[in-house]
Amino acid sequence: MARAWHIANGHLATGEKDGGHVVTLLRLEEARVRTLSHTQREVLDQLEHAAMPFLERTSTGAAGLVVTPSGRRRFGFILTPVELVLIDDGDVCATALGRAVEDRARVEGPAGALCALLRELLRDHPARLSRMREDFELMEQQVLEGRERPDRRKMMADSRRMLGLDTFYQGMSDLAAELAEDDSGLVTPTDRARLRSLARLLGRLATRLESLQDYSLQVHSLYQESIDVRQNNVMQWLTVVTTIVMPLTFVTGWYGMNFPRMALFDVPWGYVAVIVVCVVIVAVEVAFFWHHGWLSFGERRHGGGERRD
């Protein structure tokens, strides 16, 4: 069933009023039974599959779609100099218009009502961007401290949200700029000023989102670097152990050869001598590695190793 709002004394009010500008909310099947132009019908046909907001000019005004950042909710609109028709099978438009009525948003014509609706959709976006930045700051701190691994699932969820917001802001900016530049009488001068203000707000949000995307890339890069460091530490351990064992393997292999006469075989202290040689080899290697910081594994290197850097 259609719902209506009217413009009274420069504000949106609930209900329909004779002789006044009217905002009408319809379901998709209700809108399709109305007399629509070819362009309007084409726009509505894209309602179920559109990926970003857009606007198309018609002979009597404009028609377009708005897609939320999540991409799961959409609504269409048909704008003329005397009427704004919203097509929404959900509650996006009704909720936003209800808030606009409560806030007593200034509206002069149908385009102003659309501007108030779009602005209500952006109400929580500054706080949303702040929360995402706090998430990335927490992840950065976790990576730098190395105490626990950050939540990769949350990192990817924030990245997906930022991608949706980027598409949303681009489409909304184009839509608001197109209406703000109208000189055909579709938009009143006062509402054009409000649409320009909306375009500036979208520009600020887009700039903030761009910096947040750059920050997220830095956090992802830092996290990947921490993974590389851990992998290098594992390889370093394996290399050190292999290097220590290698000369011992050589000694045991040499004396494992089946020859009748070999050094130290015929003396009573030969076995002890080989043991002492092996211990000395291990001790020299460990001291050498420690002196050069190869046993620090990501911690601060000391002595010669630090001076070499």
Q: Each residue of 55-93: pLDDT tens digit?
A: 999 888 999 999 999 888 999 999 999 899 999 988 999
pLDDT of residue 158: 85
* CATH code: domain of residue 281: 1.20.58
Domain boundary among 201, 224, 247: 224
Domain boundary among 208, 224, 240: 224
The total domain count for the chain is 2
| 190 and 292 fall within a common domain | no
Domain boundary among 224, 243, 278: 224
Instruction: DSSP for 37-91, please give it.
Output: -HHHHHHHHTTTT--S-EEEE-SSSEEEEEE-TTSS-EEEEEE-SSEEEEE-SSS
Q: Which of 125-129, 148-152, 250-254 has the highest mean pLDDT?
A: 125-129
Does 187 fall in a domain?
Answer: yes
Cβ–Cβ < 8 Å for 25, 94: yes
* pLDDT band (50, 70, 90) for residue 302: very low
Does 140 fall in a domain?
Answer: no
Cβ–Cβ < 8 Å for 87, 77: yes
| 184 and 88 fall within a common domain | yes
| 259 and 181 fall within a common domain | no
Does 23 fall in a domain?
Answer: yes
| 247 and 202 fall within a common domain | no
As a whole number, the mean pLDDT across the chain is 85
Give the helix/strand (H/E) hosting 245. helix 189-255
pLDDT of residue 307: 41
| 112 and 261 fall within a common domain | no
pLDDT above 80 for 188? yes
| 192 and 273 fall within a common domain | no
Does 288 fall in a domain?
Answer: yes
Does 165 fall in a domain?
Answer: yes
Model confidence pLDDT, tens digit, residues 13-61: 887 766 566 899 999 998 888 888 899 999 999 998 899 999 999 888 9
In which region does residue 104 sit, left (phi positive, over 0), alpha (psi from -120 to 50) or beta (all else)?
left
* pLDDT band (50, 70, 90) for residue 2: low
Cβ–Cβ < 8 Å for 54, 174: yes
Nearest to 122 by CA among 203, 213, 24: 203
| 168 and 235 fall within a common domain | no
Does 145 fall in a domain?
Answer: no
* Rg of the Cα atoms in the chain: 35
| 71 and 94 fall within a common domain | yes
Does 167 fall in a domain?
Answer: yes
**Mean pLDDT (whole number) for 205-220:** 92
Nearest to 286 by CA among 246, 241, 250: 241
pLDDT above 50 for 303? no
Model confidence pLDDT, tens digit, residues 224-263: 887 777 788 788 778 878 887 888 887 787 777 766 767 7
Non-local (6+) Cβ contacts of 270 within 8 A are 263, 264
Non-local (6+) Cβ contacts of 296 within 8 A are 302, 305
Beta-bridged to residue 255, according to DSSP, are none
Beta-bridged to residue 79, according to DSSP, are 62, 84
Does 133 fall in a domain?
Answer: no
* pLDDT band (50, 70, 90) for residue 309: very low
* pLDDT band (50, 70, 90) for residue 117: very high
| 202 and 279 fall within a common domain | no
| 50 and 184 fall within a common domain | yes
At residue 26, what are phi and psi to the nearest 5 degrees? -125, 160
**What is the residue range of 57's domain?**
3-125+159-224
pLDDT of residue 18: 60
pLDDT of residue 115: 94
Non-local (6+) Cβ contacts of 299 within 8 A are none
| 23 and 62 fall within a common domain | yes
pLDDT above 60 for 118? yes
| 32 and 117 fall within a common domain | yes
